[in-house]
Amino acid sequence: MEAAFETLRFNGFAGTSARSIARNGGFSQALIFYHFGSVHDLLLAALDWSGERRMTRYREALAGIDDLPRLLEAAALLYKEDADSGHTTVLAELFAASLAVPALAAQLKVRMEPWIAFAENLLRGFLGRLPRSELVDVRAAAQAALAMYLGIDLLIHADGDRSRADSIFGEARRLGSAFHSLLEGT
């Protein structure tokens, strides 16, 4: 899985094949088909492998955070970790490939569901403090947060300017601080 992850990360979806993964990992490409059935299934397993590690990290980093400015600061650091580890690149490559491979799109949708549920739980904690919070569609807000995360990543991959993420998260922190003040009544 690590060889598949790294191959996809550095070669992109178009440059990732059983041959390139096997060469990168130093094993026979027949092992890919024996253990995973297909290259697509191996790539999804590699995403799962990375996603599980990232979810654990997110849960640890965000546990106990009860104010929006700290949440947004932690989110910016987590995004940087995602980018540095290659997780965002692999995710972007698979989403881009899913436009041409419908079965891949269906699998990615399933894999995004735990992230949406995670975001829903976080949002409930913050939105629950708002008057009339029942007017907020928490699931839609969680989906919007995930879409923003993926969108930031696509912008960065389009031009290679990682400072865009810093600017976007900086603005989110600024707005989050103002919103937090409204929540706290200060």
In a domain, 27, yes or no: no
In a domain, 9, yes or no: no
Whether the CB-CB separation of 159 and 153 falls below 8 Å is answered with no
Whether the CB-CB separation of 43 and 94 falls below 8 Å is answered with yes
Query: Tell me, what's the pLDDT at 180?
Result: 66
In a domain, 102, yes or no: yes
In a domain, 37, yes or no: no
Rounded-to-integer distance, Cα 116 and Cα 119, Å: 5
Question: For residue 85, which of 111, 114, 116, 54 has the smallest C-alpha distance?
Answer: 54
How many domains does the chain divide into? 1
Specify the pTM: 0.88
Question: For residue 94, which of 84, 82, 106, 108 has the smallest C-alpha distance?
Answer: 108
In a domain, 91, yes or no: yes
Range of the domain at 177: 48-184
Which of 117-120's residues contact partners 24+ apart within 8 Å by CB, and which partners?
117/142, 118/55, 118/58, 118/59, 119/143, 119/145, 119/146
Residue pLDDT tens, the chain, 186 long: 999 999 999 999 999 999 999 999 999 999 999 999 999 999 999 999 999 999 999 999 999 887 778 888 999 999 999 999 999 999 999 999 999 999 999 999 999 999 999 999 998 887 777 666 677 899 999 999 899 888 888 888 788 888 888 888 888 888 877 776 666 654
- The residues, ordered by sequence, that sit 6+ positions from 132 with a Cβ below 8 Å of its Cβ are none
Query: Tell me, what's the pLDDT at 3?
Result: 98
In a domain, 16, yes or no: no
In a domain, 122, yes or no: yes
In a domain, 157, yes or no: yes
Degrees, nearest 5: CA angle 33-47-69: 180
Rounded-to-integer distance, Cα 164 and Cα 60, Å: 26
